[in-house]
Amino acid sequence: MLRVVAYVVRDHELLAFDHRDFPEAGRQVPAGTVEGGEEPAATVVREVLEETGVRAQLVCLLGTTDEIAPRGEPRLNFFFELTSDDPRDTWEHSVHGSGGDEGLVFVCRFVPLEPPPALIADGDFLRQLSLPRANG
């Protein structure tokens, strides 16, 4: 299985979300599965829009990781850096699309990159973001 992870950066901040109705799920960044015939770069832009309502522009591929997914299948993760000039700081978004998150409500926000935000998962490449951070 192929999966994408999105680090959307704006003014030294990272786009992240929490599940409104399941706070125990932890803080996350947009991510999702590559659909048949889709390129990972197109998937990551689509996933950001579906999960947060943010229109983001691709900057670069940061790297990949191999892992075993929670259901036991091998998974190749593509980590991308994106940018957005979305003016919102905090908002709620109802997820749309064909994935398992359809209908969930995410509380989205831009959080400071310094110190690195505590994510429940997918923090592998935060330190490799090419955009300058607040402390240099």
CA dist 4 and 77 (Å) reads 5
**What count of other Cβ atoms lies within 10 Å of the Cβ of residue 74?**
9
**What count of other Cβ atoms lies within 10 Å of the Cβ of residue 124?**
16
Question: Domain residues of the chain, as ranges?
Answer: 2-112
What's the pTM value of the predicted model, to 2 decimals?
Answer: 0.91
CA dist 107 and 132 (Å) reads 26
Q: Report CA-CA distances (Å) from 111 to 10, 37, 135.
A: 9, 33, 15
Mean pLDDT for the chain? 91
What's the CATH class of domain 2-112? alpha beta
Question: In this structure, are residues 88 and 72 in contact, taking their beta carbons and an 8 Å threshold?
Answer: no
pLDDT in tens, 36-80: 899 999 999 999 999 999 999 999 999 999 999 888 999 999 999
